[in-house]
A and B are shown apart, each in its own frame.
Chain A
Amino acid sequence: MDSGIVRMSAADLAAGIAAGDLSAAEVTEAHLGRIEAVEDRVHSFLHVSAEQARRAAQAVDAQRAAGEPLGPLAGVPLALKDVFTTMDMPTTCGSAILDGWRPPYDATITRRLREAGVVLLGKTNMDEFAMGSSTENSAFGPSRNPWDLARVPGGSSGGSAAAVAGFEAPLGVGTDTGGSIRQPAAVCGLVGGKPTYGATSRYGLVAFASSLDTPGPLARTVLDAALLHEVMAGHDPRDSTSVDSPVPPVVAAARQADISGLTVGIVPELSGEGYQPGVLARFAEAVELLESLGAKLMEVSCPHFTYGLAAYYLIAPSECSSNLARFDAMRFGLRCGDDGTRSAEEVMSLTRESGFGAEVKRRIMLGTYALSSGYYDAYYGKAQQVRTLITRDFQAAFEQVDVLVSPTTPTTAFPIGERVDDPMAMYLADLCTIPANLSGNPALSVPCGLSPDDGLPVGLQIMAPVLADDRLYRVAAALEAALDRRRGYPLLDDAKGLA
């Protein structure tokens, strides 16, 4: 297998396939070979669909041979988070309760990717039902960070991130409810975007927290992420919350990469105590670099961001307690304890007890509590008000600045096992990413170097006004270009975990 192919960007692969310099079949073979070589160490995938991938690649090659027009990512392989339904592959959401479930329908995202000629290599590992920041909550074992196999790749989209960082796929799709794309992107040295809420369809995305869940791209370059964003986004009549407006010009913005005259706001609330010094150091350097590229800097306070974590851990569990009620052993999935004597209620309770992992049960219980009569106003109601206040903070900030920036996550990748028994410590990984989920604003994490204290990647988060997703790519591309120039080689060349 040509290791050159797996190190190529999606943009270059697509261009090569379109020009006939590469066949989609050989690109797919190269990635399947890489998966074969490293998967036992990374464990990015829950399911690899080699045969379907080969067929999809052949179809693209046939299309090209017939002179039919190809989409911008035709023939490019992709790692799909196992939270999207797929008719030809299992969909488990990292949970034993769905082990082996084959949905009778494709998610809108799945369908769009197929229609664009993207080659689905398989389904990637994740924290169970997207609840977690490490993939350690997967019922099928954790994924590992290609930078250091003893560390987590972040989560919940950790499998997709590990696959892209480990060169098993040039592109990954994740979902972001509280940071589940941006945080793994940051700790794996990738670009990860959370589009404006509603810009990417949730139809066929197995819901964790409906009002927060947002599908988005993971890639090794800003342009690749933008190309994938453009394929994924767009109005879907099957999702009532889907935004019915044109997709912002994200690819053009990624190519423009010019931020002169842009005003960049720094949020003081997303910094300081509890942040790893190396993370803060790299973040500060990146901000200076942005200034040197022509951006104007300004500190903008968002006072209610500090309540984001608390509001999130009421809203997301509340919605999840209701969304996960359908996993009841009656129509699909696992059924336990049905010995002919037990009642439906007992079988439901036994199945859910053994089919759900500890974190999922914890959040179901928390959400059940927050919604129960007598507590609703004090918890859920208050959290919804905090949501309004955070949205207002964003709106006020964007009257002064074009984008906001912060570290993506307070620390670099942490060791596997370090936080599994300490939910509150685990939840802190989402501190900086949660505000944009609560308000629906688009946000993106872009690498800003390696932390001097541990040599692991650090992410810079960019946040933009609703439906101004293009600004994320413009700023990220400018920063990426400047850092690449300074370094002289791609950041991921430093990832030694799989060397």
Chain B
Amino acid sequence: MPIAREDVAHLARLARLALADDELDHLAAQLDQIITAVARVQEVAADGIPPTSHSVPMQNVFRDDVTEPCLPAEAVLAAAPAAEQQRFRVPRILAEE
């Protein structure tokens, strides 16, 4: 199933990328090519094969509920593009989740 330009636009919105029009066209073609290639995974006979999400066969790795030092306040905001009242200043938020 080829990747349409609208699909790329939808993905770009999900991924928060304001792609330019020519980029949309270019990426649609490239993604189509790559997806066709990686779709090879569907050829594998994998019935009943469990998925691997972690290559280390470990589980139950936990931390004790003990406090550790926080970052100093000035370090927290040092890299902020904008700050006010000891908080991160961000542009207006459009929609509530």
Q: Which residues of A contact B (CB under 8 A)?
A: 101-102, 104-105, 197-198, 211, 237, 240-241, 243-244, 304, 307, 310-311, 313-314, 321, 325, 328-335, 338, 340, 342-350, 352-353, 356, 361-362, 364-366, 368-369, 372, 378-379, 381-389, 391, 423-424, 438-440
Query: Number of B residues whose C-beta is below 8 Å from A?
Result: 55
Check if B40 sits within 8 Å of A307, measured CB to CB. Answer: yes
List 28 A-B pairs, Cβ < 8 Å: A104-B78, A211-B55, A237-B63, A241-B58, A310-B41, A321-B15, A331-B80, A338-B81, A342-B91, A343-B94, A344-B93, A344-B94, A345-B95, A346-B91, A352-B16, A365-B12, A368-B11, A379-B35, A382-B44, A382-B46, A383-B41, A384-B51, A384-B53, A385-B50, A388-B51, A389-B44, A423-B30, A440-B55
Q: Sorted from nearest, which 6 A-B pairs have the closest CB atoms?
A: A440-B55, A384-B51, A335-B81, A332-B79, A349-B18, A385-B46
Distance, CA A384 to CA B95, complexed state (A): 35
Known pairs A313-B37, A378-B42, A423-B34; A104 contacts B19 (CB<8 A) = no
Distance, CA A361 to CA B31, complexed state (A): 11
Check if B81 sits within 8 Å of A366, measured CB to CB. Answer: no
Which residue of chain A has the shortest Cβ distance to B45 in the bound complex?
A389
| B71-97 to A contact mask, C-beta < 8 Å, 1/0 | 100011011111000001011111100
Distance, CA A349 to CA B41, complexed state (A): 32
Q: Which of B10-25 contact A (CB under 8 A)?
A: 11-20, 23
Check if B15 sits within 8 Å of A364, measured CB to CB. Answer: yes
Check if B39 sits within 8 Å of A310, measured CB to CB. Answer: yes
Known pairs A313-B34, A313-B37, A353-B18; A385 contacts B44 (CB<8 A) = yes
Contacts of B52 in A (CB 8 A): 384-385, 387-388, 391, 438
> Is the contact region of chain A dominated by helix, strand, or loop, or is it mixed?
helix
Check if A391 sits within 8 Å of B55, measured CB to CB. Answer: yes
Check if A313 sits within 8 Å of B55, measured CB to CB. Answer: no
B62 to chain A, nearest CB (A): 9
Known pairs A330-B88, A379-B41; A364 contacts B17 (CB<8 A) = yes
Contacts of A240 in B (CB 8 A): 61
Distance, CA A329 to CA B90, complexed state (A): 9
A-B contact count (CB 8 A): 178
A422 to chain B, nearest CB (A): 10
Instruction: Give which listed residue, B55, B63, B71, contacts A104 with CB less than 8 A.
Output: B71
Highest count of chain B CB atoms <10 Å: which of A105, A197, A366, A369: A369
Which residue of chain B has the shortest Cβ distance to A210 in the bound complex?
B54
Distance, CA A381 to CA B39, complexed state (A): 12
A4 to chain B, nearest CB (A): 42
Check if A313 sits within 8 Å of B81, measured CB to CB. Answer: no
B26 to chain A, nearest CB (A): 9
Instruction: Give which listed residue, B7, B58, B81, B94, contacts A333 with CB less than 8 A.
Output: B81
Highest count of chain A CB atoms <10 Å: which of B19, B33, B90: B90
Check if A330 sits within 8 Å of B27, measured CB to CB. Answer: no
Known pairs A342-B91, A344-B94, A362-B30; A389 contacts B46 (CB<8 A) = yes
Check if A347 sits within 8 Å of B27, measured CB to CB. Answer: no
Check if A361 sits within 8 Å of B38, measured CB to CB. Answer: no
Contacts of B88 in A (CB 8 A): 330-331
Highest count of chain A CB atoms <10 Å: which of B8, B15, B20, B27: B15
